[in-house]
Amino acid sequence: MSTTERNSTQPATEAATLSERAATLVEHDILAGHLAPGSRLGIIDLVQRYEIGATPLREGLSRLMSRGLIVGTGQRGFRVADVSREDLHDITVMRTAVEIEAIRLAITHGDDAWEAGIVSTLHQMRRHIERTGDEFREGAEDFDRLHKGFHTALLTGCGSKRLLSAHSDLYDQAYRYRRVMMRSLDSGKKFVRVHQLLADRVLSRDIAGAQAMLEAHLRSTIDIVYPTGSES
């Protein structure tokens, strides 16, 4: 590539990097609860908050729209997506469809390295909870990484990048609801046991059993966050 060509691509590369950074910062604040559901995302306010230009911020927000974390309000305006029983149900329906197929493929095609990944991520999550006792919570960076890592490890043997990408996006969209769910948990041992049983079923290569257990596991968030008879 000539010097002229390199120079011409540099601004585009820098702009893409800035828009990625903007998306990451806004996403973090949404998931952490610093930007409340339904709140307006004013470009001027965000420029000052993150010290990033308006153009990459808009591009970053557009990325988050495609992931369901924010919505457009017309005239290129944005706000944080609301939370509701209907939204969580929709996320769960989609996540169940994606993960049930991914777990089928993973069990069918997964190798020894895939199995080792499940065992390793479960062990790391267990050790973290043993160190923190019953104080572990969604929102702690280390725990978030380990929890998502375990659920991703269950599916990595599926061999489909698109299924794994869809799983990752839907997992993040459900994050705000899981933070509410995690407040109801009072036992780290129980949390580990639930995930151990799920891992055991997957590692036993029981496709039907693993799919049923995974579906129940995903739907448990709805039952806890929005128990029957509660308001959305």
Element of type H or E holding 213: helix 207-225
Using alpha carbons, list the distances in angstroms from residue 175 to 30, 112, 137: 10, 30, 12
Helices and strands of the chain, counted as H and E runs = 10, 2
Confidence band for 131, pLDDT divided at 50, 70 and 90 = confident
User: Where does 32-160 have alpha helices with state H?
Assistant: 43-50, 54-66, 85-109, 112-132, 141-155
Tokens of 61: 């927000």
Give residue 15's pLDDT: 54
Residue pair 51/155 in contact by the 8 Å Cβ criterion? no
Give residue 93's pLDDT: 96
79 φ, ψ (degrees, to nearest 5): -150, 160
Q: What is the mean pLDDT of the chain?
A: 85
Read off the amino acid at residue 204: S
Give residue 7's pLDDT: 42
pLDDT over threshold 60, residue 65: yes
Confidence band for 184, pLDDT divided at 50, 70 and 90 = low
Q: Tell me: the pLDDT tens digits for 92-101?
A: 999 999 999 9
Average pLDDT over residues 152-157: 97
| Location of structure tokens 């149900």 | 89
Among 87-91, 103-107, 113-117, 227-231, the least confident range: 227-231
Q: Tell me: the pLDDT tens digits for 44-62?
A: 999 999 888 888 888 888 8
